[in-house]
Structure 1
């Protein structure tokens, strides 16, 4: 935090007071981070409080970094601050500001730097767990060198463990694996086994589950531990079934003269005549005779109420048997699945131990066990008891039971007496907001925020009572003055307009606080008295026509629902209009909004977010890209991987096709259809390199250059060459996909370096390693710069923006199925559950799913609260209805918002119609201030005219990159890298041999070839030698290799504002004529001038134009020397003029008569 500290409000100052423990409920935008920082500063200012005695625990790394930055910048500023200014800042946080306090404040920065670890301990809970394990590795049971594994290492290890399980599986295991694969699919089965590996508590002693697990599973499902099919049949016996009710129904049906009555009577009579086992088999027949398929009873009109009640009891009996039958079948599924899962979990733990790895769950579990179990834990607790006197917990609503176990262990002796701390005051400070508990899918348990508050309140109250009792017994003052836990609430919002917060309060009231999982207390915010607006855009419906502006842009995205495509297009048009014509903002001074002022939120990370980014990019709106994505998902990464896959396996036609139509390949889909058509069983690469089509010949040469490097370059070097070398891949990808392509490209290079650091650097090995796990790329959404941010509502937590758009508020939370991931045993251990169809669920499973659905619905509304409170001045709400949506879903955010708008909407050119609450000033730019002398001042025209664009420095054009000889080589004994080596050797010989006497050339050339390329076959070296000597001895080339001719000449010239650089193989400069010759080593030279590739002609044309600029007035001649035959092809001047590459803004060629 830079700049002067703002004075704390009374409730903030009370929360920051270090004299007592505080439980702070801080609504969105109320300055909780400022209170946290102020409390840390006031703790540091207390005499006797050392920096190392303060521990701050946060939920995210970003939160920890922000708090550390605020505190450290303030301490650094205090060192040299003038007394009056320092006194003002100390007053602002509620601290003493006398000279002694100021003197202490000036020393805090160095004291913090000198404390162990080099600073305050402000960590995430996982980072702190790592600290504990590193401090006590032996006590935690860790081997030396144990490290935390990342997602990719986890995926690779899971693959190895699964392979070991399959390889060593017995008949039962193979049967269970086959069953899981059929029911869940390969990926689902793997996910299930990893869930079992995570359920360490279930398998751990004492009381851990062991084979056979049938009794435990039956008990878990609410059945007796020895329940079987025969027990289920006994449920149909006369003494167990609703016999009296069934016979009563039989009598009533007998009085019903309709066919349904007689059929029911016959079915009951037949069923009662059967034995229990057969009755169970025929239960469905009986049920269909008494009830319709929808469950309604078959009853006559005006049926006797007794008849109705008896039939209901029969229905309940049938349903109970049906449920037990389903649970028994589920047992047959779960028992082998869990037994297999336990074996996998054991192998998983063994593999981690052998390799010295721990995952995040291990860190938390081991750290909690370290502090809670055994005599050693008491020693560790004693050591830590002396270390931390003040613990601060941020985002406590997102902390789960395992993490609270660590906090509880740290504070166990805080209030149980004086502990090892002597008479020092010990405090806890916990801050959170139940309304913002939105990470249940990560295992957080927000209800603990409330239960833990009561727990700590009781502990502190008991400690106060104990101290008072001790004081009465000793007739002395207590050594420590404890005060009760202070519950504090922050409601003053410093972020948003009151207009927006009033809308938020009404939305919460519309939903109901109970629906958010809270008590009935009213939620009320106080915000900034600045203009604000809330706008509801008309939803896009599936039956609407296409927007005229959107039709041409849809292209390859037609696989997405049409309403979502239209939504993305309209958002892009709206944002573009705001930026072009002005969207006024008033907070901090009237100004026009820029791209960085706009945040677009979606409920879930779906294709809509990426499509919005693409539409904004197409509209030339700066956009930071989505906040998270899988590293293998961006098109830039897929294109680069296609190049690597082709390089590793040239016969991979799919990868080659993907590469060709990517920005790297430069082909269009039409080009692929035209040039990719070939005979059956002919590979695409073989077809391209045999083709004489100019595009194919050019592409084949580029691909050969790639293949020549595969065997010699590690993956990261190959990627670097693709991106910055002749392929110019990064520029091409960014030009097509936008600047957001840079981050995933860099991550891919980083992954290649990480692979090479731990494995043998092979290309195929890297691809296998990369494909094993698709790591998630997380962008720092808080640092998007001056660009529009597209985030999920979860990712926006802790962020804000002047303008916020809710892009998919019409999303239906009931659209996807809810699956209960686990059931709890009698002693509270979670048992993982695999996915199963609806008909396989009953009893506790259905109850668990209903409970989870209720929790998810509560979190759905809390997520709405988070999304709404991100807006500072303007909030826009919209959405697209999918074809399956007949109307706006009742449980959607949009349905809640629309109920808060009254009256007719306004016409809108983009959305058709909109509703507004509140208002912002006109969208014109802020008026200029009037001159102080009261007279108008006319600015000169140049002052109001935008400056001309700065000329870009010329980028050198390398003619060789404009194209080389792309003629495909026939099959021969040298391929790939050897072919590239052959060309290099021939060029070097042609450079060196002309200066050697003709009679000595063969001997010296043979020795040089043996020294430089001794690994090549002797016949290959002899063939090269014959080709070179054939060229040098050819009478037609005598002038070319005369003593005055130059070899390997560097060239640089400016032609029409473009710098042209290159290296000429042979240059002959005469008084009136200049001849440039380029060597070509392909073994299939063109038969005539017409067959010379266009790329080669562009290359030679660039050379010729550069030489014309260097040697004005001289005739420029150009030729190609093919060393294989040998043969020289002269290039006429008019042909070179026609193939002049684009060298600058002017595209006209030089006169053809400038060349020979």
Structure 2
């Protein structure tokens, strides 16, 4: 980030006023991150506000990093700005420009760096929860060593807990576990069972705490479903009894059918007679045939027109009968559902408790645990008041970003943090305390993660009431509610289209209470284009074509998108933001509603078309083809008789066989393993491949998984190069993540090939790409992944998707609690006929919420575009037109102009206008691929210089191996020398009459293990040196101690530390201390190694201080004696250094 500050406008400027609490509704592209950053800057400029008093909570790590980087970049820039430029910066954010504020602005960067923790606390809510739990681990009930759970940890532990549960149940034949498990496995498969059990584990409040669910649960399940706790089949008999069942209406229906007299009527009268003639459970049994005789499967009255001729009131009578039968059928369904739910929930409870025990045993805590435990610390813990008090003394200003995506548990934390801001002691007299919340209801799209935009509205009402009550009628102290509607991202024509879409679909369809304010954008050109949907070939199409295993319409859609992008890049698509130019690959973003097959197809087709493209934004680590190919090699290495893995390996880029070669050289007699067939083959292709595979098998016997993967990628096989050539550069990230996974496995497990494959298969990680910026590549991602991103050109690739095609997932029912409130109980996946009563109501409520999010997702998708938005999609094989509630169907009527013919799409409709063509630029021919220069493949020669800097103190050392263990006397002498050096460093700055006492105290602390006599001898040695008048200049206040020196002398880096350095206008004196017990008595006795050391010092100082006289001396502390070394003696020792040094002058230290 450059650290530039942009002027704030209108409500942006009002929102950053630091003395007001603000609730800001910010539409897409309106600069909310800039406003948040400016708000933090304004707070930091306030007198009395310290960086540690500010807490910023964001929704994503990327958002937290971006905001932190922005603020720190501005603060760092303010340190060095000229006064007039700094004043402009402060004016841009509405801050005063007086000298005091400017001085404070220049010191804020240092204040942030000095803040506990190393900077501003700008965190995600999960990161803040981790910090809070780390600050109060005992109070949170965490054992030592507890660590956050990663996704792979979660999957592996879930499998382990389920496996243990099954094994223990089988050992004792526990039907309470095995029965429900078998029943659920038949209904939803093993993966579905595990997902259901994990949902039960997440519903922790159901199984623990006051009023927790305990077996037997049947009565509680009945109450949950709206039935009496003792409801049974007896209640069904009651619903069929006279006076409850509308038998009068049934007799009238019987009479009308008898009067009609047809075969159909006779069947109906017989069914009615059977029902009326039965009693007890017989009537319950007869109700089914009665329903089938009188009504269709859809519940419509049979032969209504004919029967109304016999009895004009037949419809009313039949509807009364239908109501009675409906009540009976619903009660039957609810009783059957209770029989299904009871064992499913009891099994869920067993798993949930085992899951909690396993997490505690392994010392793991998941994201939900972090939020829950943090909320408990602040709200329900016995010491919550104390913890809130401690935090209350720390945080005075809390800022929340993306508040619409904050769930209830997270709001509980925020409310607890701010609970004392505006009441009682928390107000802390005149101290300024504020809350700043920014969000946008229209962008609430993470319901699948447990968020609810209703919480956003509820929190707004909560804070408005709290703050307004404290304001006592003073409008300047009330919660300031503002909105941002001016977009700095999107062109006005595109925003007009967005406004029309909201108006046409209806604000309430988005979950809004009223029509939002119109968007205001830049007046540059903007274009919205509707591509004619891609239709399937129909049922008569040939199914034997290539890639028939792919969805044919989606494959065609991917082909056309690739063709369109290639045309844009070839012919030019003009853009105007930032200067007129043609679009490049990094200007294009392709969005899909869900992470399905289409995204991967688009990436593959773009790559095949030669378009630079990044991989999809998020995928399972085991899904990319490059990873599958490498895993096939590992699986074959672990089990050579695995013919399927070997076949996959052979046709992968690692070996390079074609499908035809596999058929030709791999065809064999039934029962013969493929490996045996290949290594026994006589064809050169078989023999060559067998030799390569034998090398792989030999290495697999000895190499750990990570080393084997490295060998496959960069060894003789050159696997990485082959994979990139076939699959494109987007394969790099999955390969690197596979290597990271192998490294992570080795750090926690004993490495083995079979163990790694089992570990990897048990819980594949998820690969998440950083899609911000594009990096000159076309980006393909989900709309959810695009949140916070933008692009000049955006393509909605699956706008024809039917929102009703996916069933409502993760249904829950709410159990009413005696004291008010409710407890959310999970429901397993149910068939249509099993849903009744409150389950139907819950499903309808969920569908409404899902449909609202469907339209909010459209808003987010459309507002990613800066200048051009393209809307398209593919139809299913049996679809004639897009589904009524698809994005495509609801947006198509907005295009009022006649469609235009198009060579790729057949027909397109446009809104707005394309930007004027960019000025022509000279075509640049791509240069022919040149071969590598000679030096790239030439062997590297021996290094002529030491690879590390030359230390002067080691310049005279003999080249040879160190002794295995230093002698005791050597260690004692080395320590003695260090202590004397430290005394000579510290004592010169102390008054002479205090040196003895302070030096003795320092030695007592630093060398308490030495005898007192030895410490006194060391002190005496240092004091004797300092008492010599001849050494006064060396230890004067103008001399420097322990000075680091570094210079490049003739290509050799010389680096060391001078014990004493005296810098004078025309002369530099360097002194090195020696503590040897037998010091030389004259210059002639000074060791050669010392002379070479001092020569290196002098050579380095001549580079650093060119033109000055350099004097060198050695001070022997034992004598004490200072021996000056003449220049001519040192010059003779510089032969290992060049006479013409390369200079990197250091700044003067005078």
TM range (shorter): 0.7 to 0.9
Once residues 712 and 270 of structure 1 are traced to their aligned partners in structure 2, the CA distance between those partners, rounded to angstroms, is 79
1:825 aligns with one of 815, 835, 838: 815
Contact 2:24–2:482 (CA<8 Å) still a contact in 1?
yes
| SS of aligned partner of 2:424 | coil
1:234 Cα deviation (Å)? 2.3
Q: C-alpha offsets along residues 877-932 of structure 1, whole Å, 9 cap, x if unaligned?
A: 1111111212122111111221111232222121122122222244443579xxxx
Alignment match, 1:74: 74
2:417 aligns with one of 410, 420, 424: 410
Alignment match, 1:110: 110
2:226 aligns with one of 222, 236, 253: 222
1:240 Cα deviation (Å)? 2.6
2:250 aligns with one of 246, 251, 259: 246
| SS of aligned partner of 2:119 | coil
The question of 1:510 aligning with 2:514 is answered no
Alignment match, 1:536: 530
Q: In the superposition, relative to structure 1, how do residues 417 and 690 fare at CA in structure 2: closer, same or farther (>3 Å)? A: same
Alignment match, 2:831: 837
The question of 1:201 aligning with 2:194 is answered no
Q: In the superposition, relative to structure 1, how do residues 325 and 101 fare at CA in structure 2: closer, same or farther (>3 Å)? A: same
Contact 2:528–2:912 (CA<8 Å) still a contact in 1?
yes
Once residues 681 and 268 of structure 1 are traced to their aligned partners in structure 2, the CA distance between those partners, rounded to angstroms, is 65
1:306 Cα deviation (Å)? 4.1
The question of 1:615 aligning with 2:605 is answered yes
1:599 aligns with one of 589, 595, 610: 589
Q: C-alpha offsets along residues 615-647 of structure 1, whole Å, 9 cap, x if unaligned?
A: 111111111111111100000000000000000
Alignment match, 2:281: 277
Q: In the superposition, relative to structure 1, how do residues 307 and 593 fare at CA in structure 2: closer, same or farther (>3 Å)? A: closer
Out of 399-408 and 1-10, give the one that drifted further.
1-10
1:262 Cα deviation (Å)? 4.5
Q: C-alpha offsets along residues 778-831 of structure 1, whole Å, 9 cap, x if unaligned?
A: 001104201111111111111111111111111111122223521111131111
Contact 1:457–1:485 (CA<8 Å) still a contact in 2?
yes
The question of 1:696 aligning with 2:686 is answered yes
Out of 729-738 and 370-379, give the one that drifted further.
370-379
Q: C-alpha offsets along residues 191-233 of structure 1, whole Å, 9 cap, x if unaligned?
A: 1111111110111120010001001111111111110112222
1:3 Cα deviation (Å)? 4.8
Alignment match, 1:347: 354
Once residues 864 and 889 of structure 1 are traced to their aligned partners in structure 2, the CA distance between those partners, rounded to angstroms, is 15
1:386 Cα deviation (Å)? 0.7
Once residues 372 and 737 of structure 1 are traced to their aligned partners in structure 2, the CA distance between those partners, rounded to angstroms, is 53
Q: In the superposition, relative to structure 1, how do residues 577 and 139 fare at CA in structure 2: closer, same or farther (>3 Å)? A: same
The question of 1:656 aligning with 2:660 is answered no
The question of 1:645 aligning with 2:650 is answered no
Once residues 815 and 498 of structure 1 are traced to their aligned partners in structure 2, the CA distance between those partners, rounded to angstroms, is 34
Alignment match, 2:391: 384
| SS of aligned partner of 2:712 | helix
Contact 2:21–2:480 (CA<8 Å) still a contact in 1?
yes
1:794-943 matches, within 5 Å, as 794-827=784-817, 828-925=822-919
Contact 2:180–2:344 (CA<8 Å) still a contact in 1?
yes
The question of 1:84 aligning with 2:84 is answered yes
Contact 1:57–1:125 (CA<8 Å) still a contact in 2?
yes
Alignment match, 1:38: 38
Alignment match, 1:771: 761
1:186 aligns with one of 190, 193, 201: 190
2:774 aligns with one of 771, 784, 808: 784
Contact 1:581–1:923 (CA<8 Å) still a contact in 2?
no
1:956-1105 matches, within 5 Å, as none
| SS of aligned partner of 2:772 | helix
Once residues 23 and 305 of structure 1 are traced to their aligned partners in structure 2, the CA distance between those partners, rounded to angstroms, is 62
Once residues 545 and 102 of structure 1 are traced to their aligned partners in structure 2, the CA distance between those partners, rounded to angstroms, is 74
| SS of aligned partner of 2:237 | helix
1:604 Cα deviation (Å)? 1.0
1:860 Cα deviation (Å)? 0.7
1:312 aligns with one of 319, 329, 350: 319
1:393 aligns with one of 392, 396, 400: 400
Out of 705-714 and 92-101, give the one that drifted further.
705-714
Contact 2:796–2:870 (CA<8 Å) still a contact in 1?
yes
Alignment match, 1:574: 564
Once residues 79 and 460 of structure 1 are traced to their aligned partners in structure 2, the CA distance between those partners, rounded to angstroms, is 36
| SS of aligned partner of 2:776 | coil
Alignment match, 1:25: 25
The question of 1:520 aligning with 2:527 is answered no
Q: C-alpha offsets along residues 854-878 of structure 1, whole Å, 9 cap, x if unaligned?
A: 1111111111111111111111111
The question of 1:557 aligning with 2:551 is answered no
1:608 Cα deviation (Å)? 0.9
Contact 1:382–1:420 (CA<8 Å) still a contact in 2?
no
2:178 aligns with one of 142, 164, 174: 174
Contact 2:793–2:868 (CA<8 Å) still a contact in 1?
yes
Contact 1:591–1:926 (CA<8 Å) still a contact in 2?
no
Out of 37-46 and 169-178, give the one that drifted further.
169-178
1:491 aligns with one of 467, 485, 508: 485
1:265 Cα deviation (Å)? 3.6
Once residues 924 and 309 of structure 2 are traced to their aligned partners in structure 1, the CA distance between those partners, rounded to angstroms, is 89
Once residues 632 and 139 of structure 1 are traced to their aligned partners in structure 2, the CA distance between those partners, rounded to angstroms, is 40
1:564 Cα deviation (Å)? 1.4
Once residues 90 and 227 of structure 1 are traced to their aligned partners in structure 2, the CA distance between those partners, rounded to angstroms, is 72
| SS of aligned partner of 2:240 | coil
Once residues 928 and 265 of structure 2 are traced to their aligned partners in structure 1, the CA distance between those partners, rounded to angstroms, is 94
Once residues 599 and 384 of structure 1 are traced to their aligned partners in structure 2, the CA distance between those partners, rounded to angstroms, is 43
Q: In the superposition, relative to structure 1, how do residues 946 and 714 fare at CA in structure 2: closer, same or farther (>3 Å)? A: closer
Once residues 303 and 424 of structure 1 are traced to their aligned partners in structure 2, the CA distance between those partners, rounded to angstroms, is 84
1:583 aligns with one of 561, 573, 586: 573
Q: In the superposition, relative to structure 1, how do residues 159 and 84 fare at CA in structure 2: closer, same or farther (>3 Å)? A: same
Out of 264-273 and 634-643, give the one that drifted further.
264-273
Once residues 383 and 920 of structure 2 are traced to their aligned partners in structure 1, the CA distance between those partners, rounded to angstroms, is 68
| SS of aligned partner of 1:671 | helix
The TM-score normalised by the length of structure 1 is 0.78
Contact 1:613–1:790 (CA<8 Å) still a contact in 2?
yes
1:451 Cα deviation (Å)? 1.3
Once residues 750 and 703 of structure 2 are traced to their aligned partners in structure 1, the CA distance between those partners, rounded to angstroms, is 12
Contact 1:234–1:277 (CA<8 Å) still a contact in 2?
no
Contact 1:385–1:421 (CA<8 Å) still a contact in 2?
no
2:932 aligns with one of 935, 941, 952: 952
Once residues 353 and 386 of structure 1 are traced to their aligned partners in structure 2, the CA distance between those partners, rounded to angstroms, is 32
1:4 Cα deviation (Å)? 2.8
Contact 2:595–2:782 (CA<8 Å) still a contact in 1?
yes
Once residues 108 and 15 of structure 1 are traced to their aligned partners in structure 2, the CA distance between those partners, rounded to angstroms, is 21
1:691 Cα deviation (Å)? 1.1
Q: C-alpha offsets along residues 731-763 of structure 1, whole Å, 9 cap, x if unaligned?
A: 000010000000000000000000000000001
Once residues 51 and 211 of structure 1 are traced to their aligned partners in structure 2, the CA distance between those partners, rounded to angstroms, is 52
1:675 aligns with one of 662, 665, 690: 665
1:357 aligns with one of 364, 367, 370: 364
1:1073-1152 matches, within 5 Å, as none
1:267 Cα deviation (Å)? 3.1
Contact 2:252–2:317 (CA<8 Å) still a contact in 1?
yes
Contact 2:274–2:286 (CA<8 Å) still a contact in 1?
no
2:714 aligns with one of 708, 724, 728: 724
Contact 1:810–1:894 (CA<8 Å) still a contact in 2?
yes
The question of 1:427 aligning with 2:427 is answered no
Alignment match, 1:328: 335
Once residues 633 and 946 of structure 1 are traced to their aligned partners in structure 2, the CA distance between those partners, rounded to angstroms, is 34
Contact 2:378–2:416 (CA<8 Å) still a contact in 1?
yes
Once residues 255 and 539 of structure 1 are traced to their aligned partners in structure 2, the CA distance between those partners, rounded to angstroms, is 54
